[in-house]
Amino acid sequence: MWESEKEQVIEAAQEMERKGLVVGTAGNISLRLKDPGSRELLAITPSGRYYDSLKVDDIVVVDFAGQKVEGELKATIETVMHIEVHKARKKINAVVHAHPPFCSAIAVAGMDIPPLIDEQVILIGGEIKTAQYGFPGTPDLAKNVVSALGPRNAVILANHGVLAVGRDMREALTICELAEELAKIYVSALGLGRVNQLPAEVIELERAFFTATYGESEE
């Protein structure tokens, strides 16, 4: 079942690799599924597989308890993180987790990316926070990521990488690319010795547009 949805996951994973957002088998991707039985399900990338060789049957389907529903391979180690993000963000349908170099540099530095350009607030919702460190694959990491993500569309994982969400797979992948571009801009501006954030009134206006578009608020 869900062959077209699994194809979307494969295509996004291969695009993520082509764009240099991951190396080798790193990173992971999930897509919320519509189930005839009203179960909450995800199509998610398998563990330890190179993306250029993925087949439809390699994509794993899990429920929100983390139990395998379909597929022979083991789901990514970050399945718990994906599930918790989807639980917390009812209006998003795709999650992309990657390890691009500039986001990873920010992750190692333990910094947040302040609101720098208009697209950041309009598409991501404001600053990109760095979640507290959690060991990969653990509930602690999932909890920290959900907390730092809040209502926004991207979060940095301390000493790890970045996670982006979207209403569809293309949007989630675009947000991931934008987060990496913002990290590059921020690192470059820091190197120049000066960072000018967007004016507060602009942030307020653009954040209202973001909230109207995505319709989720921080609890």
Q: What pLDDT is attached to residue 34?
A: 87
Question: How far is residue 158's CA from residue 12's CA, in Å, rounded to a whole number?
Answer: 24
Give residue 37's pLDDT: 82
Please give the Cα distance from 95 to 165 (Å, whole number): 5
pLDDT at position 219 is 43
Helix (H) or strand (E) run with residue 67 in it: none
Q: How far is CA 50 from CA 14, 25, 46, 160, in A?
A: 9, 5, 9, 19
Which tokens go with 134? 């959690």
**Beta-bridge partner residues of 62:** 42, 68
Torsion 145-133-64-33 (CA) sign: positive
Identify the pLDDT of residue 35. Answer: 85
- 42-69 pLDDT, tens digit per residue, is 999 999 999 999 999 999 999 999 999 9
Rounded-to-integer distance, Cα 98 and Cα 179, Å: 11
What tokens appear for 83 in the block?
A: 């599930």
**CATH code given to domain 3-214:** 3.40.225.10
Q: Could you tell me where the DSSP H helices lie in the chain?
A: 3-18, 79-88, 101-109, 118-119, 139-149, 169-192, 200-214
Spell out, as residue ranges, where the chain has pLDDT lower than 50. 218-219
Q: What is the pLDDT of residue 143?
A: 98
pTM of the model: 0.95
End-to-end CA distance of the chain: 35
Q: What is the C-alpha to C-alpha distance for residues 38 and 41, in angstroms, rounded to an integer?
A: 9
Task: Report pLDDT digits (tens) over 90-117.
Answer: 999 999 999 999 999 999 999 999 999 9
